[in-house]
Amino acid sequence: MIERLSQRPLPEALSGLDDLALDLRWSGSQATDKVWELLDADAWERTRNPWLILQNVSDARLMEAARDTTLIEEMKAGLEVRRRNLDDAGWFGERHADSPLKSVAYFCMEFGLSEALPIYSGGLGILAGDHLKTASDLGVPVIGIGILYQQGYFRQIIGADGWQIEALPYNDPTSLPVTPVKDPKNGGWLRVKVRLPGRTVLLRVWRAQVGRVNLYLLDSNDPLNNPWDRAITSALYAAGQDRRLIQEIVLGVGGWHVLEELGIDVDVCHLNEGHAAFVVLARARAFKEKHGVTFQQALWATRPGNVFTTHTPVAAGFDRFDPNIVRQYAQQLSNLIEVPVEELMGIGRQHPDDHDEFINMAYLAMHGAGFVNGVSELHGLVSRSLFAGLYPRWPVDEVPVTHVTNGVHVPSWDSQEAHMIWGRICDNESWRGEEERPPLTEERLSDVDLWEFRARSRRELVEYVRRRLERQLLTLGAPHELIERSEHVLDPNALTLGFARRFATYKRPNLLLRDVARLERILLSTERPVQLIVAGKAHPADHQGKLLVQEMARFAMRPEMFDRVVFLADYDMALTQHLVAGVDVWINNPRRPWEASGTSGMKVLVNGGLNLSELDGWWAEAYDPEIGWALGDGQEHEEAEWDGVEADQLYRLLEEEIVPEFYDCDKAGVPHAWVHRVRESMCRLTYRFSSHRMLEEYVEKLYIPAASAYRKRADNNGKLAVELEAWHERLEQGWKGLRFGNVHVSEEKGGWRFDVHAYLPDIEPDDVAVELYADPIEGEPSVYRLERGEPITGSINGYIYTALVQSSRCPDRFTPRIVPHHADALVPQEATMITWQK
């Protein structure tokens, strides 16, 4: 049983209902949604919060529910699905139970698990929530670390003039599906301490249950703190450098203290964005104190156990803090670990000795992590360019940033209709660890069945939009006749486009409005009608984003557009679930390459929706003409004129391809070409862009290697880490003396023989490697290792290095270089020196 704030007696027939309400893996899924709808349909649609419903429903209604056989059967079915999931070893237990990976601590500033726990703002949080749910499904030993915000992110209201109005409702913990964490030492409520200049802040610890995964949330709103400190966790992404910095200290340092207090021995710390970078310092400090090594040696020991995922596609997106603000907080840690404060702050700089350079949280994470990844193939390429300055003179393609393309938790985003469709051809209970899905062939699912499924999904979306729009208009005090009209907006048989995301200039949310007259002709066609559902928020401080919201909202308010365009306020998870289930085409048109991944379009895949998207983020690697439509030419364009080119392309795709194909039906009304595209998209992309594939990749590509490297370095009180720190110090002291001499090239055995003279006067030969590098070409290596041969006559530590290279490239394409070498070091991640032949 899950511990809870207060135990409300439930009728015996409803035993276990509270467990379902508190488990965020199951409280909002196809397995249990019907339970809450049957218990209180209105509250369910308004809040999507089972825990709140269970607390507020009357005793009389509970007694009535205990006699409702349909509700009881739905509840028992949900509990059984949950039980099987919790008892199953999962993909990880079956594949990697004997691996060195025993525990991953996943740090993130926000988690989007459910509307019941509104502590997220957008894509980063939704991804983090999907990550935890998937870890539960696959049995991956993950622990979440985050913050419990008193207000969370703002709720949006659209005024009568279309202007965005922000509301910040209070997150009452008693109505949230969280429980206090007991202190294992004294049995009271667990509080961890974080030292700040002149004071110590107490952080209460809460737990949210996500299947078999625990999410621990920190909360500074403790009466024992002073009023200013109580507000540290008041709002997500607090305004002001000082408050924002303290929030990130709370996440990283406070989060590590939670693990220590609970006795959780962590192999891997996963930093989901740079906000959590302070954990690398807290972890190293803890290792130093436990094993009696220096701080630098402790950092060498713990670094490979840290994984950093960057989501930022532009340097301006990284959190940067004024060194004068950081210095007062760094001094506290500096005194504790006996490291000069400027040396400590240098870990977060590109130029460590520049005391005026701002502290960059992404740089701190890069310098403190052994493994770094972007969130799509293209974003990995972009990130290597962004971080190239940290690896001077290294080729951009060797900057140590890999990629794991994001995915979405399919069971959280499939509709009931989609759930039943997939259930007809395979076990879709959890999407756990399957590399392939049975194809949706016509024998399994006919074109008629697939088209009728899409029609039902569209109808349900239209009905939901009508209900939500009516509530929206009532809130604004709209005229009665307008509210009556809202009951009939949209056409369940019309091509339905969806556009929902954060309204920021780089996302170009109003590209569709560039030629309003042309858009009107598309939407208002009587023979082939098209309708558009829009939602999205602008950051409260983003005036330009608010203007974009207003422009789109006003367009939707036009009397002639009222039946064809709807702008729904307060874009959230509940709205997303309905949109991705019912739209025919999901539109995404950011300015490439600013969309790191863009997971919203992935959510329509399981539901049979199609994508019309910029060749950016995930769509750059997913796009195929048979499964969707692409905007752009796959290149970067900064000039504003290019927006006009892509707007024209967007209109032409709608006019010439998308609308005609949707309405090109046989005599029975089935558009076979469209249905074929739907079928191919569902079959080929759903699993490929699921979080189950994503997490399997994290485990095998990053987590297990990170855990192995960390354990090896941590053994024997960090013996290997001490050795590596000494190796690095030797390199720093002797590197300037390295140089090349003669290079001889001869043709031999169908390739080229290189004899390279290298002089290493103050470096041990085993501490370095001599290589040949050539610019990458497909099918051939870029780097060739040379073997050390005879000493150079009359030299001090000079050697002849040789290699036979089989390559189609000319020998002048290869350049000799000297790089650090140690069998257990991560190069260039941990040693950035490099010497090239001039």
* Positive or negative: CA dihedral 518, 519, 520, 523: positive
Supply φ then ψ for residue 40, to 5 degrees: -160, 90
Indicate the length of the chain as a whole number: 838
b/e code 240-259 from CB counts within 10 Å (16+ = b) = ebbebbbbbbbbbbbbbbbb
CA dist 570 and 550 (Å) reads 14
Give me the residue label for tokens 């984003």: 545
Report the pLDDT value the prediction gives residue 430, as an integer from 0 to 100.
47
pLDDT of residue 367: 97
Cα(626)–Cα(209) distance, integer angstroms? 41
The pair of three-digit structure tokens given for residue 327, joined into one six-digit string: 């210095």
Whether the CB-CB separation of 258 and 173 falls below 8 Å is answered with: no
**Pairing label, strands 306-309, 371-374:** parallel
Q: What is the mean pLDDT of the chain?
A: 93
Residue 27's pLDDT is what?
Answer: 74
Q: Coil, strand or helix: which one is 221?
A: coil
Q: Which of 773, 768, 749 is nearest to 758 (CA)?
A: 768
Strand order in 783-785's β-sheet? 783-785, 768-773, 815-820, 835-836
Which residue from 221, 223, 229, 236 is spatially nearest to 151, judged by alpha carbons? 236
Residue 748: exposure state from Cβ atoms within 10 A (0-12, 13-18, ≥19): exposed
Helix (H, G, I), strand (E, B) or coil at 435: coil
Q: Distance between CA 788 and CA 362 in Å, rounded? A: 38
Residues 604-610: what's their mean pLDDT? 97
The C-alpha atoms of residue 726 and residue 720 are separated, in whole angstroms, by 10
| Distance between CA atoms of residues 506 and 545, nearest Å | 10
Q: What is the mean pLDDT of residues 331-342?
A: 84
Q: What is the CA radius of gyration of the chain?
A: 29
Would you state the structure tokens that stand for residue 195, as one six-digit string?
């030292």
Q: Above 80 in pLDDT, residue 410?
A: yes
Angle among Cα 767, 751, 822 to the nearest 5 degrees reads 10
Distance from the Cα of residue 246 to its chain's centroid: 23
- 284's enclosing H/E stretch is helix 278-291
For residue 741, the SS3 value is: strand
- 3-class SS of residue 774: coil
C-alpha–C-alpha distance, residues 28 and 34, integer Å = 9
- What whole-number distance in Å separates Cα of residue 560 and Cα of residue 404? 45
User: Which domains occur in the chain, in start order?
Assistant: 12-87 (no CATH), 90-159+168-406+699-714 (3.40.50.2000), 444-689 (3.40.50.2000), 738-836 (2.60.40)
pLDDT at 442: 77
* Token pair 């939407």: residue: 523
The better pLDDT of the pair 332, 631 is held by 631
- Looking at 292-376, list the stretches that DSSP marks H as alpha helix, in order from N- to C-terminal side: 295-302, 323-337, 341-346, 361-368
Q: Which helix (H) or strand (E) holds 90?
A: helix 90-95
Which stretch of DSSP H or E encloses residue 659? helix 659-663
Number of Cβ within 10 Å of residue 340's Cβ equals 9
HEC string of 15-53 equals: CCHHHHHHECCCCCCCCCHHHHHHHCHHHHHHHCCHHHH
pLDDT at 7: 61
Percent of the chain with pLDDT over 90: 83
Is residue 639's pLDDT more than 90? Answer: no
What pLDDT shows up at residue 797?
93
Mean pLDDT score, 188-204: 94
Pairing of strands 320-321, 359-360: antiparallel
Look at residues 441, 432, 437 and name the one whose alpha carbon lies nearest to residue 411: 432
pLDDT band for position 445 (50/70/90)?
confident
Burial letters 111-147, b for 16+ CB under 10 A, else e: bbbbbbbbbbbbbbbbbbbbbbbbbbbbbbbbbbbbb
> Using CA atoms, how far apart are residues 712 and 267, in angstroms rounded to an integer?
11
Which 8-state DSSP code applies to residue 280?
H
pLDDT band at residue 5, thresholds of 50, 70 and 90?
Answer: very low
- Residues 827 and 500: their CA atoms lie apart, in Å, by 42
Q: Are the beta carbons of 137 and 210 closer than 8 angstroms?
A: no
Q: Please, which pLDDT band fits residue 2 given cuts at 50, 70 and 90? A: very low
- Is residue 93 pLDDT above 60, yes or no? yes
Q: Report how far apart, in Å, the C-alpha atoms of 707 and of each of 143, 266, 353, 509 are.
A: 15, 9, 32, 42
Q: Two tokens at 348?
A: 């977060």
CA 825, CA 830: separation in Å to the nearest integer?
Answer: 7
Q: What is the mean pLDDT of residues 39-55?
A: 90
Beta bridge partners of 777: 780
Strands 530-535 and 164-167: unpaired
Residues β-bridged to residue 801: 756, 788
Average pLDDT over residues 61-80: 93
CB 494 within 8 A of CB 465: no
pLDDT in tens, 281-300: 999 999 999 999 999 999 99
Q: What are phi and psi of 689, to 5 degrees?
A: -115, 35
d(CA 772, CA 485): 72
pLDDT by residue (tens digit) across 510-543?
999 999 999 999 999 999 999 999 999 999 989 9
Q: Over 70: is that where the pLDDT of 631 sits?
A: yes
